[in-house]
Amino acid sequence: MIQLTALQIKLAEQLLLSVKKNERNVTYKELAGRVNPPIHHRHVGKNIGQVSILCHELGLPLLSAKVINQSTHTVGDGFYPLLKMMGIPTEGKTEAELCKEQIKAIRECTEWYKLEDYLGLNVGMPRPVPKLDPKLLDAKRPQGYLRSVDVLNNCFGNEYLGKTYEGWMRGAIAFQSGGEDYSVWFPKLAVNGKAASSSGWINIISSGGSLIEEFGSENTFIPDNNIVFVFAKQGSEPYFFKGVFRADFDRSTEEHHYYLKIADIADLRGAVPTIYYYIDEDRVDNDLISDLGKEDSFVPADGFDYNGKPEPVPKPLTTGGRIVYPRDRRRAINALAHAGYVCEIDPQHPTFIRKKSGKQYTEPHHLVPMSQQSRFPVSLDVEENIVSLCSTCHNHIHYGKGSEELLKKLYAVRKEALRSAGINITEEELLLFYDL
C-alpha cells in the first residue's frame, strides 16, 4: 500500500469532507485554502494524484476526479495519465466521459469509511449498518450484554439516535425499580398488522453511549397498541431481556403507565419483529382437561390413526387480553384413545374410571407446548404431539423437580411421530421450552 505524506493525508481528509457534503467539484484553489495551514494551489496536483493511487489500491473511485481547474472547469493534466498508469480501461471513451464516470462512482460509493479508517481520520463517513442480532430475544436466554449501548447495537442495530432504520423508529427510556436498572425500547413496529405509534417520543442516547434518557417528554403516552421491549440489569450484571410489554390503558394514568407482559420472545431477524406471544400454558391445559370431563362420548374418530402429515397453524384467539391458540378437544380424545387410555410414562401407573365416558382417566398434554406455537410453521395441536399422562405424571411435568427424565422418555417415543407431523425439534430445544 502506498504511504501518504502528512500533507497528502490532509488533502484526502478535505476531499472526504467534500464527498460528505455532496459537492460535485472543488477547485484547486478552494482545496488548497481548506488545508490547515493553507497551501499554494500549485502543490495540490501532484499530491492528490497520490491520494487517488491509494483510493485505487483500496478499491475506491479516484478522489482527484473531483478537483478541477477554476478557469477550464476540467481536471488537471495529470489525471488521464494516472488512469492509464493504474490500468483503468480508457479505450473508446473521451476524457470528459472518463471523468464523469469517476464522479458518478464517487457519489455512489458507500465505502469511503475504508479510506477514513486507513488514514486514521475522523470524518464521519457513513458506515454500513450492522445486521440485527439473529438471535431471538428470549427471556429464558439472557442476552448477557454489559452496557445498554451493546444491547442497542447488538439487538437493534447501530444507527440509533431516533433514526429510522428499515422501518424502525426507536425511542428509549431508562429507570430504576427494585434495585434493577431498566432500559425500555419503543420500536415502531406492526403488531397484528397495525403499526404502533412512537411519534410522541423523542429520546436520545448520550454520546458516551452508556446512559439512555428520556428527552422532551410532553405527549409521552403512546396511543394505540403501545409495545415496548424491556431489558434490565442489576448492578454490574449483564442485561437481561425481560420480555415484550403492552400498555395497559385501563390502569394507566397521566403519571404512571402500566404495562402488561405479552411475550417472552421476540424475533428481530426481520425489519419488523415477530412477537411470540406469551401463553399461560397451565391455564389452557386445565381448560382442556375440564372440557374433557364434561364429554359424554369419549370415542375417537372412526379408525383413527396418526395421519403422518403436517397440519396448518390454527388461528390464535384473544381471550381476556391474552393470545391463545385454540385446542381441539376431538384431537385430545383421539390422542388418549391412541395411547389406550394409559399413562405413556408407565402403563402400570394407577388411575381410575371417568364418570361419564367410562374410560380410564388420563390427561392430554401437548409435548411441544402450545405456548411455542408461533415458533412453528405447522400446528402443534395434533395427535402426534399430544401425550396421555396419569394425573401424577402430568403434574410432575408441569410443577415437579426431575421432570427432565420424563420429558426425555416421551421425546424418545414421539420423535418420529412429531417429525411426520412437521414438528422438527431436538431434545435440547424441547427441554429449553420447559426451562430445563
Contacts with Zn ion by CB under 5 A lie at: 285, 343, 345, 349, 365, 390, 393
Q: How many CB atoms lie within 10 A of CB 47?
A: 20
d(C-alpha 227, C-alpha 222), whole Å: 9
Closest approach of Cβ 349 to Zn ion, in Å? 4
Closest approach of Cβ 419 to Zn ion, in Å? 21
Contacts of 5 (CB under 8 A, 6+ apart): 47, 50
Closest approach of Cβ 415 to Zn ion, in Å? 19
In DSSP terms, 387 is beta-bridged to 365
d(C-alpha 178, C-alpha 175), whole Å: 10
The nearer residue to Zn ion, 274 or 392, going by C-beta atoms, is 392
CB 223 within 8 A of CB 204: no
Contacts of 31 (CB under 8 A, 6+ apart): 11, 14, 15, 18, 41, 44, 48, 67
Closest approach of Cβ 148 to Zn ion, in Å? 38
The nearer residue to Zn ion, 327 or 365, going by C-beta atoms, is 365
The nearer residue to Zn ion, 164 or 286, going by C-beta atoms, is 286
d(C-alpha 430, C-alpha 325), whole Å: 19
d(C-alpha 263, C-alpha 93), whole Å: 61
Closest approach of Cβ 409 to Zn ion, in Å? 11
The nearer residue to Zn ion, 102 or 362, going by C-beta atoms, is 362
Q: How many CB atoms lie within 10 A of CB 266?
A: 22
Burial 105-130 (b: 16+ CB within 10 A, else e): ebeebeebbbbbebbebebebeeeee
11: cell is 488533502
The nearer residue to Zn ion, 8 or 362, going by C-beta atoms, is 362
The nearer residue to Zn ion, 171 or 364, going by C-beta atoms, is 364
The nearer residue to Zn ion, 144 or 400, going by C-beta atoms, is 400
